[in-house]
Amino acid sequence: MQIRVSGPGGAAKRAGSDLRTTVTYRDDSLPLPLSIHFVRLVDDETGEHELRNVGVELGEELRDEESALAAPELTAVALRRVVERYPHWVELARAHATFNLDEPLTDHTRRPKPARLDPDWYRMIASEYRHHRDDGDPAPITTIARSHGVTPSAASRWVKSAKGLGLIDA
């Protein structure tokens, strides 16, 4: 799975450009790239922020006739699969958008593990675990280990800690 997080920079905000943070997934389980859009809402009094889901796109911009001919057809069955799993995709996207990275995330360039594992790290791991489990992955911990470039025992400890924090149902 390839994951790309893009968001508005300072110049974009000043220029009145798109203020959305977008998480885009490219995966064999998806017929076309799936982009989920968020806006960051900040409470002026408390300083708390919220990522609100404001849109979704399935597919990509077709720039020429050749790319249009190569694009796969979106079928009703494929669309139904995306819709059925949509809550899981949004939860996973929210976890990735929380980190607000400027660089694309791929299987080999995930958020670097913090020196001290913080609650955001465990929320992201819990979200990935639930996503893989709900998609029928027979070995979600092994998948997480591969995606973060660690041993399965390290990924297992992360999942166990996330369960201990109540982020994953036992």
pLDDT along the chain (170 residues), means of 10: 73 60 82 88 78 88 81 84 86 78 38 68 88 89 85 92 88
Residue 88 resides in a domain: no
Residue 29 resides in a domain: yes
In this prediction, residue 88 carries a pLDDT of 85
Q: What is the spatial distance between Cα 131 and Cα 4, in angstroms, rounded to a whole number?
A: 17
In this prediction, residue 103 carries a pLDDT of 39
Residue 30: which domain range? 1-83
Query: Coil, helix or strand for 64?
Result: coil
pTM over 0.95: no
In this prediction, residue 104 carries a pLDDT of 38
Residue 67 resides in a domain: yes
Residue 90 resides in a domain: no
Residue 163 resides in a domain: no
In this prediction, residue 158 carries a pLDDT of 92
In this prediction, residue 17 carries a pLDDT of 66
Query: Coil, helix or strand for 169?
Result: coil
How many distinct structural domains can be found in the chain? 1
Which residues, listed in sequence order, are joined to residue 21 by a DSSP beta bridge?
A: 38
Residue 132 resides in a domain: no
